[in-house]
Structure 1
Amino acid sequence: MPVSFRTFSLSLTSLCLLLPTDALRAEDWQASLRAGAVSVPRYSGSDEQVLTPLAGVEIVSPYGVFLDSQRGLGWGFDEDDFGLSVYIGASDVRKDRRSKYKGSNHLEGMGSIKSRPVIGLDGTYHMGPLILGATFEHALEKDDDDHDTDSSWNRLKLSISAPLYEGRFGKVTGSLNSQFGDGDYMRTWYGVSTGQASRSRFRAYDASGGLISRGADLTWSLPIDEHWSVSSMLSMQYLSHEAADSPIVERRMQTSLVGQVIYTF
């Protein structure tokens, strides 16, 4: 999947009212602001790239409750060897026409995949220098009840990462991953129903659940001072046969590049 940017808003004042007064001291809270740009495919399988502005915020309370513009609202903890978080966010979207930074006219007639609530579970385990990761997401069904684009689906991402370099020029981390989706996920993002085929340029295609892609990420981060840092990430995803055989897929290798400045306080 392309890099997903999810917008989620909540009144910080309302959130603070749920916590004890002694937890609201400024030194107990962590916050970061992110700004930059990202180059991503217009949809998973597209051969068109689009340059999109990137902006985000993350706020973490002393009790592990967090608000992240990318993941959503959730709770997590991170011990020395093990980390776990649960969250409620929003899924990515796909439009069947070009609209600013989303969609492609190549998909005309396929119908748009709308954002819907996502429940996520994210875990990490440290084995020496290696970090094992697993992320599971369940997207709820849309009220529109369009079987082609609004079904609930499940996605699992497994990863292993390790530091490759750490020194005066920052830190470089490499990661390998595999992504899996159930039948509803594959049908939503890569399938072409008979109805969609009759409205679009594509032949009907029934995508089965299983492996979505294998990929690799390369991340570089450089702290400037105690508040400012810069980072970039190159991500490559090679679509599996089940996804790549879809008539909507124009390019099997999907590449994303992110660059951002981060202010932490």
Structure 2
Amino acid sequence: MNLTTPPTRTVLWGAVLMACTLAAPAQAADASPAADKTTATLGLGMGVTPRYMGADRYRALVLPMFSIQHGVLFADTTRGVGLQFQSDSGFGASAAINYDLGRKEKDSTSRPGDRELNGMGDVNGATVADFTLSQQLLDWLSVSGEAELRMAGEHRGNRYRFGLEGILFHTGSDTLALDIDAHAGDGRYNQTFFGVTQAQSQRSLYGRYDADAGIYAYSAALNWQHSLDAHWSTLASLTLTQYADQARNSPLVRRESAGLGMFAINYTF
């Protein structure tokens, strides 16, 4: 389930993509990788993140992490349940079913929400289909794109992401990577999370605002992954999000820029 906002999930996805980028050369050197190999990872992430997209208040986030992969099949707490493909040439693709918990109009410890949204109404959860493509351009550089399409539940629209992932430093135990992403939504998505209808305006303190399709934010994330041994690893991340175009003039966006920090420890079986 998606317990976090899209920029936060981008941090977690960036860690996955970073691992795939580093794995591609190793796969190319192995003529017959074990297609039926099962890998499982348990972890715990902790961090500080805005209460919702555009909030000026923060909340502590504790995020249990679980991932299992068998061949092309995977299930994890960040991407949902699906399948993925990684070629020796560095091309990757995945398709998954996930669940977005939406947004509350009050403070919440388990999902995005803020009491400052009182009168806006809750954005209910939605089942989504998530599709990603990535291509390794150089040993240290990859490009990726993502489309998250609403399938059922809240009619919240669709969101999209396009980004570059660069490996700045890599040794046998440490990897430092920089992710730069553009986040966009269709008209319904941007209106759901950044717009204010006339009815919402009458119930809340916010003036009416109509959001159109387009880019709503840019983000940059610095991720440091450290391997303690063959099983234990840690991930530390700092992310800066800058709201733009369809979001920054929204009365719901109380800060045009936001930061978040996360630390996770993982054990791979």
TM over 0.5: yes
Rounded Cα–Cα distance in structure 2 between residues aligned with 1:42 and 1:70: 18
CA distance in 2, matches of 1:85, 1:93: 23
C-alpha contact (below 8 Å) 1:96/1:103 kept by paired residues: yes
Q: For the aligned residues, what is the CA RMSD?
A: 1.8
Give 1:71's aligned amino acid: R
- What amino acid is aligned across from residue 229 of structure 1 in structure 2? S
* Amino acid in structure 2 at the alignment position of 1:52: L
Distance 2:172 2:66 in 1: 27
Count of residue pairs brought into register by the alignment: 237
How many Å apart are 1:155 and its aligned residue? 1.1
The answer to whether the aligner puts 1:89 opposite 2:107 as a matched pair is no
SS in 2 for 1:197: helix
Distance 2:81 2:238 in 1: 26
**Are the equivalent residues in 1 in contact too, given 2:46–2:60 (CA < 8 A)?**
yes
TM-score by length of 2: 0.84
Q: Give the match for residue 66 of structure 1.
A: 74
2:208 corresponds to 1:174: no
Shift of 1:241: 2.9
Contact residue 161 and residue 184 of structure 2 kept, 8 A: yes
Identify the residue that residue 143 of structure 2 maps to in structure 1: 132
SS of aligned partner of 1:207: coil
Hey, what's the Cα distance between the residues in 2 that align with 1:169 and 1:4? 24
Unaligned runs of 5+ in 1: 6-24, 143-149
For normalisation by structure 1, the TM-score amounts to: 0.85
**1:254 alignment partner in structure 2:** 258
Structure 2: 5+ residue runs without aligned partners? 1-5, 11-33
Partner Cα separation in structure 1 for residue 122 and residue 60 of structure 2: 21
Q: Does 1:100 align with 2:112?
A: no
The runs of 4+ residues in structure 1 deviating greater than 3 Å are none
**Local SS of the residue matching 1:188:** helix
Cα distance in 1 between the residues matched to 2:156 and 2:129: 11
Within a 5 Å distance, the mapping from 1:81-230 to structure 2 comes to 81-101=90-110, 102-128=112-138, 129-142=140-153, 150-167=154-171, 170-230=174-234
Give the 5 Å matches for 1:26-41.
28-41=37-50
Partner of 2:243: 239
> Residues of 2 paired with 1:191 and 1:152: CA distance?
12
| Matched position secondary structure for 2:251 | coil
